[in-house]
Amino acid sequence: MPEETPVSTPAKRDTPLISLEDRGLMVLSGQDTRSFLQGLVTADLDLLVPGRALYSTLLTPQGKFLDDFFLVQPDAEDDNLLWLEASKKRLVPIARRLALYRLRADVKIAALEPVHHVYVSLARDPKELGTDLPPQAGLWCCDPRPSSAGDNAQNRATTPLAEKQPTDQESADQITAAPGTVDERKADLGPAILGPAILGPAILGAAILGSRYYSQQRLDGAPGTDSPAYQAYEQQRIRLGLPDGEQDVEREKSTLLDNGFDHAGAIAWQKGCYMGQEITARMRYRGLAKWDLLPVGLATGNFADFDLGHGEAVTLDGKPVGQLRSCSGNVALARLRLEALSEGLDRLMVHDQPLHLLGRLLGSAEQEATDPLRV
């Protein structure tokens, strides 16, 4: 029999676990935790069940972006014990903001002890997702953000917001299935995998967008954010049009609908009030968004080859219509003015390099097959 791989040694797989040293966890507990967060964050806490994580944001009272993060329920027996994963440098500001609004609510906010390390992977097959890692080693969770966020980028760029927003019923059409089941409406994502109690390949589903893994043990030799594996992960996120709050959004200045968070599944339109809800809802129902964060790419070469990166101006017929945000390889997210884009998607430029919108924007399988930027 082959010798078992020690937990401290990363498995040799095509889609390895990638260490995110800049991410951390805090723990929220107390009998009012859920109701407290329900009135603050943009996601619906009623949809957070064992077996699925939740992607959400925190806003100012004026509806401006503060932070994005993942929420996880690690214990199936305790609905009010939650983990919050965010950028390490934002954990203290988030904790202070939550404490500011806590008042007399029974909510305890603390760093997660013992410290857990955060890993991500592009693993799409259960056999790649740590079959050599025993369940007790940590907690698995799939990335809950819709993998369709980057699809139909052309429609997102040219359709008025009021016309393209989902109905309330469609907005509520999210996974609420019991642990161990897969909602076929989002079968390309798969469920969250939480261990050890319900960890198992049988409930993973196929074609997971990406997985997150929280472990008390550091996996020696796991590639970091300077590795090719992480660049592949970033390029996938960018192609799917998923914003990163640390890289793509101006804190306390940006609104969610101007930066793609509605397409990333961070907003629950069916829930009641939350901090910044009035402005966010008004933008949606009146079609007031003027920008969007869209995946773009170069047909030849990489952005680094042309010394192009975050903040570079995107132009249309010589007039500025936006800026680049996250860049990796030949793909990037660009914050683009929607009104200008309706005039000509095929004439976008960054310096002297033509840009193309990514996603299923060509209208037919034959055209899509010829797209030089097709995944």
Instruction: Tell me, yes or no, whether 368 lies in a domain.
Output: no
Q: CA 3, CA 104: separation in Å to the nearest integer?
A: 54
Instruction: Tell me, yes or no, whether 108 lies in a domain.
Output: yes
Q: CA 188, CA 146: separation in Å to the nearest integer?
A: 9
Instruction: Tell me, yes or no, whether 51 lies in a domain.
Output: yes
Q: CA 249, CA 68: separation in Å to the nearest integer?
A: 10
Mean pLDDT of 213-233: 89
Q: Over pLDDT 90: what percentage of the chain?
A: 51
Q: Where are the alpha helices (DSSP H) in 148-253?
A: 153-158, 161-164, 168-172, 228-239, 245-248
Domain with 39, as residue range(s), is 18-239
Tens of pLDDT, residues 184-200: 223 333 333 332 222 22
Instruction: Tell me, yes or no, whether 306 lies in a domain.
Output: no
- Is residue 181 pLDDT above 50, yes or no? no
The answer, yes or no, to whether the previous bond of 201 is cis (omega within 30 of 0) is: no
CATH number of 73's domain: 3.30.70.1400
Q: CA 297, CA 328: separation in Å to the nearest integer?
A: 10
pLDDT band at residue 284 using 50, 70 and 90 as cut-offs: very high
Tens of pLDDT, residues 9-35: 334 445 678 999 999 999 999 999 999
Instruction: Tell me, yes or no, whether 322 lies in a domain.
Output: no
Task: Compute the half-sphere exposure of residue 2: CA atoms within 13 Å on the CB side of its CA.
Answer: 4
Q: What are phi and psi of 235, to 5 degrees?
A: -65, -35
pTM: 0.80
Instruction: Tell me, yes or no, whether 150 lies in a domain.
Output: yes
Instruction: Tell me, yes or no, whether 228 lies in a domain.
Output: yes
Instruction: Tell me, yes or no, whether 301 lies in a domain.
Output: no
Q: Over pLDDT 70: what percentage of the chain?
A: 71
Q: CA 35, CA 41: separation in Å to the nearest integer?
A: 11
Among 35, 63, 45, residue whose Cα is nearest residue 259: 63
Q: Please count the structural domains in the chain.
A: 1
